[in-house]
Amino acid sequence: MSLPNNKTCSSCQRTLSRTAFNNNRTRKDGLQNVCKACMKTYQKSLGCHRSRESYRTSDHGKQIVKECCKRYKASDKGRIAERRYRQSEKGLTYDRCQKQRRRDPATSLTVADISVVLEKFNNTCFNCGSYEDICIDHHRPLAKGFSLSLENAVVLCKRCNSSKCDKMPDEFYTPEQLMELEVQYVIATS
């Protein structure tokens, strides 16, 4: 079955080529009823002319998203999803980290401590040597009960930090790297 090359817009009644219509897989001909120009005019009249992302970052969009989240969390479906998340491994890890932070408020470094750690590692990722997107990470992970301190801080780029995740040092670094951390940077590896 071949599809016609032209279609009539149900809004402006003009006959246009198929490229003037947006796709719609649920329709037999695979196209919307109204042309792109009429759809754009309609969306502007509703105030939907901005992209979805810019709408979400606007004050009005943030307020609507916040209200929708609140309604979802209050619904039965939202409460069930929250309970499932809290019982999952990821949720349990999150809870452990939050409890550790509440118990030990000194889990964050001061500005002076941050500059000391960055200087110690020459503002480079310890694992790959990158200068870009560096951050300070827990050498031994907070998820396993180790707080952030000068003795437990290591500089990694975001890529290496993400790949390290909540692994213990001996699961992530090579034995040579562990030795270097212990000797040169005075960071306990065990």
User: Does 105 have pLDDT greater than 60?
Assistant: no
Residue 178 and residue 124 in one domain: yes
User: Does 54 have pLDDT greater than 80?
Assistant: no
94 domain-assigned: yes
189 domain-assigned: no
In total, how many domains does the chain have?
A: 3
CATH code of the domain covering residue 148? 1.10.30
Residue 92 and residue 111 in one domain: no
Model confidence at 142, pLDDT cuts 50, 70, 90, reads confident
149 domain-assigned: yes
pTM over 0.75: no
1 domain-assigned: no
The DSSP code for 8 is: E
Residue 112 and residue 166 in one domain: yes
Q: What is the pLDDT of residue 14?
A: 92
Residue 34 and residue 67 in one domain: no
Burial (CB < 10 A; 0-12, 13-18, 19+), residue 127, is: buried
> Which range marks the domain in which residue 144 is found?
106-183
Q: What is the pLDDT of residue 20?
A: 92
Q: Report the range of poorest mean pLDDT among 42-46, 60-64, 92-96, 182-186.
A: 42-46
159 domain-assigned: yes
Residues 151, 172: Cα–Cα separation, whole Å: 18
Residues 74, 174: Cα–Cα separation, whole Å: 47
Residue 112 and residue 151 in one domain: yes
Q: What is the pLDDT of residue 148?
A: 82
114 domain-assigned: yes
Q: What is the pLDDT of residue 125?
A: 93
DSSP H helical ranges for the chain: 36-46, 52-57, 59-74, 76-87, 89-103, 111-120, 158-164, 169-172, 175-183
Residue 62 and residue 113 in one domain: no
Q: Report the range of poorest mean pLDDT among 66-75, 116-125, 180-189.
A: 180-189
Residue 167 and residue 119 in one domain: yes
Residues 177, 183: Cα–Cα separation, whole Å: 10
User: Does 38 have pLDDT greater than 80?
Assistant: yes
Model confidence at 181, pLDDT cuts 50, 70, 90, reads confident
> Looking at residues 167-171, what average pLDDT do you find?
90
Residue 72 and residue 29 in one domain: no
190 domain-assigned: no
Residue 88 and residue 26 in one domain: no
Residue 16 and residue 36 in one domain: yes
Residue 17 and residue 63 in one domain: no
Q: What is the pLDDT of residue 187?
A: 79
Residue 124 and residue 170 in one domain: yes
